Amino acid sequence: MKYLHLVWAALVRRRTRTLFTLLSVVAAFLLFGLLDSVHSAFNVAAHDVAGVDRMVTVAKVSFTMQLPKSLLGRIQTVPGVSEVTYANWFGGIYQDTKNFFPNEAVAPNFLDLYPEWVLSPEQRKAFRETRTGAIVGAHLAQHFGWKLGDKIPLQATIYPQKGGGNTWTFDLVGIYHVKDPKLVNQEDLLFFNWDYFDEARQFGNGQVGWYITRVADTGQANRVAQAIDAISFDSDHETKTQSEQAFNVGFVSQFADIGLIVGAIMGAVFFTLILLTGNTMAQAVRERIPEIGVLKTVGFSNRSVLALVLAEAAAVLLLGAAIGLALAGLVVSAVRLKMGGAFPLDPVGWEIWLQGLILALLVGLVVGALPALRGMRLRIVDALSGR
Amino acid sequence: MWGKIGVALLMLLVIVLAVVLLVLCPWWMLLGFVVLLALWLALTRTGRQTWSVTQVGLATIPQRLGAASVVILGIAGVVGVLVAMLAMAVGFEATLRQTGDDSTVIAMRAGSQTELNSVVDHDTAELIAQQPQVLRDAKGQPIASPELVVVASLPKKSNGLDANVEIRGVGEHAWELHPNVRISAGRRFTPGLRELIVGKGARTQFAGLDPNSTLRLNGQSWTVVGEFESGDAHDSELWADADVVGSAYRRGSSTASVTVRLTSPQALAALKASLAADPRLQVDAKTTRDYYNAQSENLANLIRILGTVVGAIMAVGAVFGALNSMYAAVAARAREIATLRAIGFRGLPVIVSVLIETMLLALVGGAIGACVAWLIFNNYTASTLGANFSQVVFDFKVSPALMWSGLKWALAIGFVGGLFPAVRAARIAVTEGLREL
C-alpha cells in the first residue's frame, strides 16, 4: 500500500494515454453491465428460488392449448399435492401494442401460491370482492401512473365478451410489491378475477390455460408430476407437468439462445480490450525502462517491480470497470423507467458488480503480465542505459 | 487559451459533419471523393508532399505492429458484431417479407393480431368466401382457404428442449393461394386423414419430422408423408387438412382465418367495405403481405436497435484505442515530422497523411470484421418465437449493403481516431520536435 503513490505516478505520467485507455475500459464494462442485465433478466426466472415447490401443468401438445377446469378436483386429490390454482393468459392490449405487459385471469386462491408477491389484506379482500377488480405490480402502476380506483381498459386479442365487445374494463383495486429485488420484473403484470373472465367471455368457457400446483415435499415432485399427468393420459387433453423453473427455462430458450449471443459479443469485446490495454501497458513499460532501472538501483526487488506494473494495469481496469458498471446501472434504470416491462432488463445488482470487478481484475493481470515480467527481468545496467 | 478552445470546437464540428456525411452518403459519392483525393495527391504540389509523407508513415507500420493491430482488430470487432447483429434482423425480416402477396387477403376476427388468437366460425368463413371480390376457379368455386393455426410442442434438435411448432390446417384451395409452397420430398397429405407435411425449416430445427415418421399429438398419431419448401415463413410450419386438425384440437368446424384470392389487387378496398357493411361479420381483412410484414417489424427493429447500441458502445471504445495508437505513432515520428516542417512542408500534408494512414488501417479492420461476419454468419440458420407463439426459422443474411455500412462505420471510427493525432502532428513545434529522441 505504501507504494500507491508510485502506481499513481506511473498512471499520470502520460495523462491522455491513461485517460483514453480508461475510457475504452469504461466502454467495455458499460457493455458488459448492459448485456449481463439482459442475460440475467432472461435467466432469473430459471433461478427463481421462491418457486421451488411449484409445478406447472399445461397441455402436453402445447401450452397454447386449453385444459378442462374439471381437472382441478382430480389434481387436488393426487397425494402429495398441497394446493392447486389455475390461470388463463388474456393477452389484452392497453392503448397500443407497444405497451405490452402480461395480463392473466387468475383463480381466487392464486396469490396463496405466490407468497413473494405482497398485497395488503384490505386490497386482497377488495380484489376478491370486486367482480371486475384487477391488481397490478407496483412498477407497472408507476409506469402508467395508475392509482387505486382507476379504470383500466384492455383490448382483447383472444377473448371478446359475450356481447361481442372487445374492450374489457377493470377496476384497479390493488397494487402488489415484490420483496426480492431480483424479481422486480414480476411487478410488470396485471391480474384479474377468473370467475368474471369465464362468465363474460364469448367462448372457451370452463377451460383454463394452466394449473399451478404446490407440492408438500419437493423430493416427491417427480412422482406427483407423473401422477398428475396420468390423470389425462391417452385422452384428448394430455398434460405435461414440470417444475416452474423447468417450464421457464424451456419458455425462455424458445426466444433465442440469449447466453450464446451475449457470450459471443462479450468474447469479441474482451478480446479487443485485452489487445488494446495490453498494447498500452507494453508501451508504458517500454517508455519507463530507465526509471525502472533507477527503482531497482535504489533497492526495489524484482518482485516489487513486477507487483508495481501489475498493480498499475489492475488499477486502470478496476477503475474503468467501476465507472462502466455505474454507467450501466444508470442506463438500465432509465430504460426500465421509460419502457416498463416491454424490454427485459435486470437492475445492475451486486452479482453483476462482483462478476464485472473480478473480470476486470483478471483482465488487468493478464494484460499486465508480459510487461511486468519484462520489467522484472531487466538488468540494471541495460535499463539505465535505456537498452 | 481561447485559441485552443476554438480549435477543439472546430474539430468537433468537423467530426460531426464528417461522420454524418460518411454514414449518409451513398457509395458513388464516396468513390468520387476517393478519386478526387487521388487526383489531388497526384497532381498538386501539396498533394505530392502529402503522398510522400503518407508513404513514410505506411512504411513504418511494420515497426509498430502492436499499435497498428490495436486499430485494425479493435475496428474489426466493432464491424463484425454490428454486421452479425444486423444480419440477424435482415434475415428475419426477409423471411417474413417474402411471405404473402398483394393479391391474396387474409381475414381474421376483429381485434386479433395473429391467427393463433383468432376464431372464425364456419358460417363466417362461408360468407367471406362468397364475396364478389373473391376470384373463382374454372369450376366456379371461390378460391378460398379456411385455415386453422394451432401449436404443437416438439423437441428441438439443437438442445432437446421442447419448443413450439406451428401446425397450419389448410383447405383444398391452399395450394393455389400459397404458390411458393412446393413438395420437395414425398407427397401431399390426403384430405380427411391424419397426415402431415413438414416445412423444410421446421424439419431442420425439430427432431422426428422426417418423412414416414409418426407423431403423437393429443393422444392421436399422425404420419409425416412429405416435405415442402416455400422459401418463406411457411417453411417453419407443418401442414395438414384443416378439418382433421380442427377435430384433433377440439375446434369443431371453426377456423382461425380465411385466405382468399382477389379478382384483382384493386378489389381490396371493395372487399373491406363489403365485409364491414355486413352486420353478421366482425372481421379484419388485410393483404397477406401486410399481415406477414407486420409480424417482422417489432422484432427486427428491436434487434436493429440492440445491434446499433452495442456497435456504438464498442465503437467508442475502438475510437479511444485508435486515438492512443495514433498519438503514439505521431509521437514516435515527432522528429521526422519536425524535420519535414523545418525544410518547408506545411501543416496540411501532415494532417492529411496521418488521416489517410488511420483510415487505411480502419478500412483493413472493417474489411476483416465484415468478412469474418460473412464467413461465420451468412446463411446461418436460427429460429425464434414468432407472432403465432411458435418457432420461425430464418437465415442470417450478410448482404453486400450490410458489409458496406460496416465499412462506413469503420471509416468513421478511423476518421475520429485519426483527426486529433493528425492535428497534434501538425502543431508540433519544430524546435521541440527536433530535440525528441
Q: Name which of B217, B317, B324 is nearest A27 (Cβ-Cβ).
A: B317
Q: What single letter denotes the amino acid at residue B423?
A: V
For residue A251, tell me if it sits in a domain: no
Q: Name which of B70, B217, B219 is nearest A235 (Cβ-Cβ).
A: B219
For residue B148, tell me if it sits in a domain: yes
Residues 6+ apart with CB under 8 A from B308: B82, B86
For residue B6, tell me if it sits in a domain: no
Helix B65-97 vs helix B288-332: angle between axes, to the nearest 10 degrees?
A: 170
For residue B253, tell me if it sits in a domain: yes
Task: Please tell me the distance in Å from B283's CA to the nearest CA on chain A.
Answer: 12
pLDDT at residue number A86: 95
Query: Is B150 in CB contact (< 8 Å) with chain A?
Result: yes
pLDDT at residue number B437: 56
B316 contact residues in A (CB cutoff 8 A): 23, 27
A274 contact residues in B (CB cutoff 8 A): none
> HSE on the CB side for A97, CA within 13 Å?
11
Chain B residue nearest residue A273, CA to CA: B74
Judged by DSSP in three states, A256 sits in coil
Mark yes or no for CB contact A17/B318 under 8 Å: no
pLDDT digits (tens, 9 = 90+) for B185-230: 999 999 999 999 999 999 999 998 999 999 988 778 999 999 999 9
User: CB B167: neighbour CB atoms within 10 A?
Assistant: 26
> HSE on the CB side for A118, CA within 13 Å?
7
Judged by DSSP in three states, B319 sits in helix
Residue B194 is given by DSSP the state S
A62 contact residues in B (CB cutoff 8 A): 150-153, 164
Q: What are phi and psi of B283, to 5 degrees?
A: -130, 155
Domain housing A85: 66-236
For residue A55, tell me if it sits in a domain: no
For residue A53, tell me if it sits in a domain: no
Query: Is B155 in CB contact (< 8 Å) with chain A?
Result: no
For residue B357, tell me if it sits in a domain: yes
Residues 6+ apart with CB under 8 A from B338: B428, B429, B430, B431, B432, B433, B434, B436
For residue A189, tell me if it sits in a domain: yes
pLDDT digits (tens, 9 = 90+) for B264-310: 989 999 999 999 998 888 899 999 999 999 888 888 888 898 889 99
Instruction: For residue B189, give the C-alpha cell.
Output: 397429405
Domain housing B250: 111-281
Task: Please tell me the distance in Å from B48's CA to the nearest CA on chain A.
Answer: 32
Residue A64 is given by DSSP the state T
B244 plus B333 within the same structural domain: no
Task: Please tell me the distance in Å from A119's CA to the nearest CA on chain B.
Answer: 31
pLDDT digits (tens, 9 = 90+) for B152-180: 989 988 888 888 999 999 999 999 999 99
Integer Cα distance of B387 and A7 in angstroms: 56
Instruction: For residue B244, give the C-alpha cell.
Output: 382433421
pLDDT in tens, chain A (387 residues): 678 888 888 888 888 889 999 999 999 999 999 988 888 877 765 555 566 789 999 998 888 888 999 999 999 999 999 999 999 999 899 988 878 899 999 999 999 999 889 999 999 999 999 999 999 999 899 889 999 999 999 999 889 998 878 899 999 999 999 887 777 778 889 999 999 999 999 888 999 999 999 999 888 888 999 999 999 888 888 899 998 888 887 887 787 777 788 888 888 888 888 888 888 888 888 888 888 888 888 888 888 888 888 999 999 999 999 999 999 999 988 887 776 555 667 778 888 899 999 999 999 999 999 888 888 888 888 888 866
B159 contact residues in A (CB cutoff 8 A): 253, 257
Residue B436 has pLDDT above 70, yes or no: no
Number of folded domains in chain A?
Answer: 2
Q: By C-alpha distance, which of B244, B249, B258 is closest to B169?
A: B244
Task: Please tell me the distance in Å from B304's CA to the nearest CA on chain A.
Answer: 14
pLDDT at residue number B427: 83
Q: Which of A186, A207, A236 is the last residue of a domain?
A: A236
pLDDT digits (tens, 9 = 90+) for B33-59: 889 999 998 888 888 888 888 888 888
pLDDT digits (tens, 9 = 90+) for B376-435: 999 888 888 888 888 889 999 999 999 999 999 999 999 999 888 988 888 877 888 787
Number of folded domains in chain B?
Answer: 2
Task: Please tell me the distance in Å from B406's CA to the nearest CA on chain A.
Answer: 16
Task: Report whether B336 contacts B437 (CB < 8 A).
Answer: no
pLDDT at residue number A337: 75
Could you give the residue ranges of the DSSP H alpha helices within chain A? 4-11, 15-43, 71-76, 121-129, 138-144, 194-200, 221-231, 244-253, 258-287, 289-297, 302-339, 350-377, 380-384
ipTM over 0.95: no
Residue spans of beta strands (DSSP E) within B160-242: 162-170, 182-186, 195-199, 214-217, 220-229, 237-241
A230 plus A260 within the same structural domain: no
Provide the number of CB pairs (under 8 Å) joining chain A to chain B: 147
Predicted model pTM: 0.86
Judged by DSSP in three states, B93 sits in helix
A108 plus A201 within the same structural domain: yes
pLDDT at residue number A48: 57
B235 plus B312 within the same structural domain: no
